[in-house]
Each structure stands twice: as C-alpha cells, then as structure tokens.
Amino acid sequence: MKLLALAAASMLASVCYAQGVVPQDFIASGPLNIKVPEEILAACAKNDAEACFKAGKAYQEGHDKTEKYGQKAEEYLRKACRLGNGDGCATLGNMYFFGGVVIKRDPNVAFELYEKACSLNSSRGCAYLGVSYHYGVGTERNFEKAKQYFTKSCDMKQGLGCAELGKLYFYGQGVDQSFEKAMDYFQQGCALNESMGCIEVASMYYQGIATEKNVQKSAEYLEKACDNQIGQSCALLANWYYEGKYLPGDMAKAKELYKKACDYGFERACPAVAFIDQAAVV
C-alpha cells in the first residue's frame, strides 16, 4: 500500500516553493518567547549595525505572530539597513515580501530593499533580487537580470544563488539550456547547504538527466535535504524504505522519516506514522 503519492519530478517546483516563489528559509516560524541579550541591544543603541541586524533577525522569527515582535523586528532591521548592513535590508525585505501582523505584504518595497541589500554585497540580498527578476515579483520579469544577480550571489558562495542559477540553465531561461551546467550549479548549491540544490540534484539522478539514472545517489541528496528539515524529502525517502522498491525495505527507517516529515510541517506524512504502528500490532 502506498502511504503517500510523491514523485521526484514533482518536487522540482513544490518542495522549496510551497509558500510562494522563494525558498522556505524566508519564512519566519520561530518561538514566541523571544529575548535578545542585553549586550546586543546595547551595542545596537551605539549604532553597531551587525548587532542591530542580530536583534532584528531574532525578533523577525515572531513577526508574523505578534504585533510586539513585528514592531521590534522592523525597528531593528530598519536601523541595521540604514547603518549599511545588507543582510538587515534583505531580511526587512522578506518581511515586506510575505507580510505579517505589522507590515503588510508589498513586493515592490521588498524589491527595493533587495536592491539595496545587494548593493551592500549581501549574498542573500542578491539571490532574493534575482528571484524577484526571475519570477517578476515587485518588478518586471527579466531573465538576464536574474542571471546577473544569481551569478553575483553564487560567486559570494551563497547556495541559493547557485541553485537558482541552475534553474535558469535547466529551463533555458535567458541562457542556452544546459542540463550539465544546471547539475553543476545545483551541486554547488547543495554543497553550500541550500536544500533546493540538493532536491534538484536528487531529481536529476532519479530521472537520469545529465547523468546516468542512479536512485541510490538520488536518495543521498534527498537525505541531505531531509537533514535540512525539508519535510517532503523525508517523506519521499520514507516511501522508498516502506515500499522496498528503490531502497531496502525498512519499516523502522520509514517510520523515522515519516515522523521527521511530520515534525517538519509536511502534514500528509503524519498519518503514516500511526499506520505503521497499527500495522505492527496486527
């Protein structure tokens, strides 16, 4: 019996973009009891841009849950950005991209903040700016611009920029299509701990694109994405262990991975844990 209907090919678009056109690490999902160390707040009061960013980033984890955290996140990130911290501009841009309790969603403002972030050499800011151009969010769609900023981000060793550059080559958007170059950039992204890169490499191994079909290698890259808390990757691996088709059958491993998928927010995997427990009793 198949517990979940997942296919590796479908993961190309769905896993990291389930919440929009940007990867999951944009999403604030942290605890509600946030307390920033006094020494960081004191340093920010003395115009330490990095300290302001750290404070703002901490509060940003709860900006979409309470007004208090939203206000504090905006205050500290805006100050960090004003003081020249590119990551502060980029993170504030994320708040505008998604919206929250205090800041209403405004992709145009997000785009402007990503521009400033990239001009301040924030590798994430350049990647986010590339995403904006790639999908035409907050600006007109422009593949050449997307490539420019993804390349700058990747050159700064930002995994997101490398993985997104791989997508341009995979689909031939603004560049000559090259599955080989796509694989190379996806692998670079994965090596830099960008989960989307790992998922794309897994899919290419699974389908035998730009390489020989190798399900074992696909599983290795899915496991890397699972380790980075991408629930769908954990669930697909669990399927393979449960079915014993691509990997040796292992109910204990399948249950462990379904549990991880559930804990990481992939709710479709949650019933599978109970199903395996019940099947063991019968």
Whole-angstrom Cα distance, residue 234 to residue 238?
Answer: 6
CB 131 within 8 A of CB 22: yes
pLDDT value at residue 9: 33
Whole-angstrom Cα distance, residue 244 to residue 2?
Answer: 11
pTM tops 0.85: no
Instruction: Please enumerate in sequence order all residues whose Cβ is within 8 A of that of 84, keeping only pairs 6 or more positions apart, or say none.
Output: 49, 120
Task: Identify the segments of the chain with pLDDT beneath 50.
Answer: 1-31, 281-282
Whole-angstrom Cα distance, residue 69 to residue 125?
Answer: 22
pLDDT value at residue 26: 33
pLDDT value at residue 30: 41
pLDDT value at residue 62: 65
CB 205 within 8 A of CB 211: yes
pLDDT value at residue 63: 58
CB neighbours of residue 217 within 10 Å: 16
Distance (Å) of CA 43 to CA 122, 208, 232, 262, 274: 21, 53, 40, 40, 49
Instruction: Please enumerate in sequence order all residues whose Cβ is within 8 A of that of 159, keeping only pairs 6 or more positions apart, or say none.
Output: 188, 189, 190, 191, 192, 193, 194, 197
Environment class of 156 (CB within 10 Å of its CB; exposed 0-12, middle 13-18, buried 19+): middle
pLDDT value at residue 245: 84
